[in-house]
Amino acid sequence: MLSNSFTAQLNIQYPVIQAPMAGGATTSSLVSSVSEAGGLGMIGAGYMTPSQAREQMQELKQQTSTPFGINLFVPETFEVNQKEIDEANQILSSVREKLDIPLDHQVEYPDAEKTEKVFQEHIQVVLEEKVPVCSFTFGIPSKKVIAQLKEHNVYLIGTATTVEEAVENEKAGMDAVVVQGSEAGGHRGSFLDKEKQNLVGLMSLLPQSVDQVSIPVIAAGGIMDARGLLASLSLGAAGVQMGTAFLTCKESGAPDIYKQAIFEAKEDQTAVTRAFSGRWARGIENSFIAEMKNHEQSFPNFPVQNSLTKGIRKASAEQKNKEFMSLWSGQSPRLAQDLHAKDFMKKLAADAEKIKSNW
């Protein structure tokens, strides 16, 4: 049996969380399929408006009575500096030319005050819709927010890229913490020093974190099958969070061209870049990453750079050109499967039992 006290707390069958990938992959169909199959489906609401998040929650509650969760980005301080933006747009102009798109003068720059207000609205939606699990990336919410959520028995999950960040999450009252190994695809969740990549492999990060906190530790990064699940449990994890593995599932909202890029990638063909968003993130190396390599340190911080490249990413996807899209992926693309989420979960559980019986 794969159940443990962590699965009991969350009221799920398997210690498997579908990573809350922001950007469209976590359709209601994916989230509900995972939850119905005994895992924990998660809405990646990092780029959603509160009403979009509420709409998906309501849709999900019609599709399943099993628990699911939501992930929010904790607002961080940033500045909108016109000179920095002009310089970045200058560098990005070569890409815009290739895609034959104009500089978007209508781009809506993020506003720190508004971002904080939207975050508070998201928290209200979580409370009102009675979502049982809420996880956070890019930081730890305020004491007030944590107290509010705890009062309503929301299970809180933080994100860490170092042992120290895991400890801070526990101190702040998180119920569990995801530790994100260097293998992980997408954004690094680093928050104590967001300029750092903190690329510690899961084989190292996981046991060292488990030794320093007493809350359940959830392993993330490169885990794509039953082998990774059992390895994580061996290292002391209470469960795993898998992103890329669910991103290529049939129910995922990722564009086909993106899924195909993962199916064709090899383990050494991803890179960590800050050129897409202003925050370090791992994706499949393409022309955008390569061409921006020498400029990435000069780009504005997240989420400003993210707004500057939005038009580029969108046009690239529309033109079915994978070279200028953010192809977030972990380091195990060779293990990606093209399955229904339900079948993926079934195979995962069966394979895990098989490995265990061979011990």
Dist CA 44 CA 351 (whole Å): 27
CB of 114 to its own copies, least distance (A): 33
DSSP string, 252-264: --S-HHHHHHHHH
CB of 163 or CB of 304, closer to its own copies: 163
Answer for the pair 177, 170: CB distance below 8 angstroms, yes or no: yes
CB of 144 or CB of 227, closer to its own copies: 227
Dist CA 14 CA 110 (whole Å): 38
CB of 59 or CB of 164, closer to its own copies: 164
Dist CA 106 CA 87 (whole Å): 17
CB of 207 to its own copies, least distance (A): 5
Binding site for its own copies (CB under 8 A): 162-164, 181-183, 196, 198-205, 207-208, 211-212, 221-225, 227-228, 230-232, 234-236, 266-268, 330-332, 334-335, 355-356, 359
CB of 106 or CB of 357, closer to its own copies: 357
CA torsion 123-152-22-215 (nearest 10°) is 130
Please give the backbone phi and psi of residue 209, each rounded to the nearest 5 degrees, phi first. Answer: -75, -45
CB of 72 or CB of 223, closer to its own copies: 223
CB of 296 to its own copies, least distance (A): 17
CB of 352 to its own copies, least distance (A): 9
CB of 52 or CB of 212, closer to its own copies: 212
CB of 175 to its own copies, least distance (A): 23
CB of 1 or CB of 107, closer to its own copies: 1
Question: Sheet of 16-18: strands edge to edge?
Answer: 16-18, 239-242, 217-220, 176-180, 155-160, 133-137, 68-73, 41-44
Sign of the torsion formed by the C-alpha atoms of 329, 49, 96 and 257: positive
Dist CA 201 CA 91 (whole Å): 33
Q: Which helix H or strand E contains 178, and what residues bound it?
A: strand 176-180
CB of 101 or CB of 271, closer to its own copies: 271
CB of 224 to its own copies, least distance (A): 8
CB of 232 to its own copies, least distance (A): 7
CB of 11 to its own copies, least distance (A): 23
Residue type, 31: V
Non-local CB neighbours of 260 within 8 Å, separated by 6+ positions: 322
Closest CA to 162 of 117, 135, 199, 123: 199
Longest CA span, the chain: 62
